A = this chain, B = another copy of it.
Amino acid sequence: MEAKHVNAITRATKNILTSHLGLDVKLLNPFVQKNVIPSNNVAVILGINGQLEGQLICTMDETTAISIISTMMGGMPVEAIDDMGWSAIQEFGNWVGGTMATELSLDNTIIDVTPPVVNNGSSTFRSASSFITLPLESSIGKIDVHITIKKVSA
């Protein structure tokens, strides 16, 4: 995976958290995980096709997910994740995927992003290639953005 792609994805995710959710966000050191990542109970999965192909998986714990939902709903108190809450988490995934596609297009890399699927429960994800993990720390908790992509040969 090229550094410019990682940078575009980092900009996209930080951008969503700061401009859409109004959060202060700190990016901790990105690192490469083998091919297994934990779901942390709430995961949003987006498939990537086009000049790059792979997957983007954002993982967080339920407390952080609830805070994101509450923030997206203008600060409404949220006790547990109901159908509307899961929609909000999917929408959050859409924001990250859409902004990522825009950021990459500025570098002349054109991708398509699938609609999001949310995974809830304690599980692990495995891919054929390594994941790069971008750990983002904010006042509402930690969100890990995991990416496994490869360039599609023309």
Please give the residue numbers on chain A whose beta carbons come within 8 Å of chain B beta carbons, in ascending order. Answer: 39, 45-50, 53-55, 57, 86-87, 90, 112-129, 148, 150
Contact = CB atoms under 8 A, between A and B. Distances in A.
Contacts of A45: 45, 47, 55, 117
Contacts of A115: 53-55, 127-129, 148, 150
How many identical chains are in the complex?
2
Contact of A125 (B54, B118, B148): B118
B49 A121 contact: no
A55 B49 contact: no
Nearest to A112: B49
Given A121-B121, A125-B117, A50 B47 contact: no
Contacts of A113: 49
Contacts of A47: 45-49, 55, 114
